[in-house]
């Protein structure tokens, strides 16, 4: 982004509203990084929800972090608990009230994020062009509707009304790791009997599940493709505790010893462990962007979504695109009810890419 003129006075207080999800929060770190780089005198506060909040702690581009747990609101809505809804929104208002913001940037585009942006009291509220109804009602202005497909570019469009364009944009996500985190990660791997930093025994991490069922590759396919790898490659499965049954299926098909650390780490601990590995095999999900932020090369599998819209913009990241005719529909549920696009990716094609990347 090239600065057209110094539209922001020193000390301008800016609120970023991006509550979730993990991948989208990581994408939005590119916004605050470029804003802080080009306008270092501004003060940036970010309103975020757990669990993604842990990934923003220690980010040098963020001056203050406000953590509001939207999960309480989601539970109240699901239970049709009006008192719970009011109580949760009141907690958000209380969190925002002590702060005086000059500008609020809604990088989420939901009705909820718009309401929170309005609660901030910022006289200037800028939203992005998304498909969610009602968000514009809370904004004083909207960013231009770009032709650019990638989510990061669409998030960055919120800076254009402030006098910036894309000509000096630096790609890359931000997730700093402290020395203590790196030491912890090395000790963790050693305790698990996993070698790191040995090119003869590369460490392959495997994330088998995503938050969209139709972005998931069959567990058996993971096991099939990994089975064809040489025994010198160390294989470790990552994920949430709920991923254990899928991982067990993959391990059974793999047919040789492997380790699972699913559900055994926090997100920030997982980021530190990623920094010690050699490659991550995953679908389009939050860990892909954590890996990008800490410099871990990735091989990602794409069906209903596309890397031109969501994928890493930095080097070292490789993609397997579904050959199916209806790929990149961006639908959460397959219209064919068969998860056709992900099933069209063959284990053999993935194996060959892993071998080339780990040579």
Residue 167 lies in a domain: no
Where among 97, 131, 162 does a domain terminate?
Answer: 162
Q: For residues 336 and 313, what is the distance between their CA atoms, to the nearest angstrom? A: 31
Residue 107 lies in a domain: yes
Enter the tokens of residue 229. Answer: 């790898």
- Residue 5 banded pLDDT, cuts 50, 70, 90: very low
Q: 186 and 130: one domain? A: no
Residue 138 lies in a domain: yes
Q: In terms of residue numbers, what domain contains 120?
A: 13-162
Where among 137, 162, 187 does a domain terminate?
Answer: 162
Q: 211 and 350: one domain? A: yes
Q: For position 136, which CATH number holds?
A: 3.40.50.2000
| Range from 117-131, 242-256, 333-347 carrying the lowest mean pLDDT | 333-347
Q: 140 and 203: one domain? A: no
Q: 233 and 303: one domain? A: yes
pLDDT tens profile 176-198? 999 999 999 999 999 999 999 99
DSSP string, 49-75: -TTGGGGTTT-TT-SEEEE--HHHHHH
Residue 7 lies in a domain: no
How confident is the model at residue 133, as a pLDDT?
A: 77
Q: Based on the structure, what is the number of domains in the chain?
A: 2
Q: 278 and 352: one domain? A: yes
- Residue 236 φ then ψ, to 5°: -130, 130
Residue 189 lies in a domain: yes
Q: 193 and 113: one domain? A: no
Q: 119 and 202: one domain? A: no
pLDDT tens profile 317-340? 999 999 988 888 888 777 777 788
pTM of the entire structure?
A: 0.94
Q: 148 and 205: one domain? A: no
How confident is the model at residue 101, as a pLDDT?
A: 98
Q: 274 and 326: one domain? A: yes
Residue 172 lies in a domain: no
How confident is the model at residue 298, as a pLDDT?
A: 98
* Helix H or strand E segment including 15: strand 13-17
How confident is the model at residue 7, as a pLDDT?
A: 65
Show the CA angle centred on residue 47, arms to residues 15 and 63, nearest 5°.
Answer: 60
Residue 150 lies in a domain: yes
Residue 170 lies in a domain: no
Show Cβ contacts of residue 83 under 8 Å, excluding neighbours closer than 6 positions.
76
Q: 221 and 271: one domain? A: yes
Tell me how far CA of residue 48 lies from CA of 71, 87, 281, 312, in angstroms.
11, 18, 28, 22
pLDDT(237) > 60:
yes
């Amino acid at each position: 982004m090239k600065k057209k003129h110094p539209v922001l006075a020193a000390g301008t207080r800016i609120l970023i509203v991006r509550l979730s999800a993990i991948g989208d929060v990581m994408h939005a770190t590119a916004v605050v990084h470029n804003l802080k780089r080009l306008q270092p005198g501004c003060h940036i506060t970010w309103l975020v929800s757990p669990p993604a909040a842990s990934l923003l702690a220690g980010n040098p581009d963020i001056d203050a972090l406000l953590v509001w747990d939207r999960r309480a609101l989601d539970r109240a809505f699901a239970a049709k608990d009006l008192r719970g809804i009011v109580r949760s929104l009141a907690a958000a208002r209380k969190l925002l009230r002590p702060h005086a913001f000059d500008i609020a940037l809604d990088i989420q585009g939901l009705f909820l994020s718009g309401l929170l942006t309005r609660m901030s009291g910022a006289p200037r509220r800028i939203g992005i062009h998304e498909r969610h109804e009602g968000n514009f009602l809370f904004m004083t202005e909207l960013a231009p509707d770009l032709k650019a497909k990638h989510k990061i570019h669409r998030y960055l469009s919120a800076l254009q009304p402030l006098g910036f364009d894309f000509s000096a944009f630096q790609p890359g996500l931000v997730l700093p790791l402290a020395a203590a985190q790196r030491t912890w990660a090395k000790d963790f791997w050693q305790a698990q009997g996993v070698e790191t930093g040995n090119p003869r025994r590369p460490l392959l991490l495997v994330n088998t599940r995503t938050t969209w069922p139709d972005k998931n590759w069959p567990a058996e396919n993971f096991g099939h493709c990994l089975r064809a790898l040489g025994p010198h490659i160390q294989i470790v499965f990552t994920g949430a505790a709920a991923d254990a049954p899928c991982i067990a299926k993959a391990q059974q098909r793999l047919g040789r010893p492997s380790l699972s650390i699913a559900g055994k780490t926090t997100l920030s601990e997982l980021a530190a462990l990623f920094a010690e590995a050699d490659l991550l095999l995953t679908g389009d999900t939050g860990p892909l962007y954590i890996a990008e932020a800490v410099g871990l090369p990735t091989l990602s599998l794409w069906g209903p979504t596309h890397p031109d819209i969501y994928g890493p913009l930095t080097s070292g990241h490789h993609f397997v695109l579904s050959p199916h005719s209806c790929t990149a529909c961006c639908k959460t549920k397959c219209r064919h009810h068969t998860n056709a696009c992900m099933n069209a990716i063959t284990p053999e094609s993935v194996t060959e890419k892993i071998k080339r990347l780990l040579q």
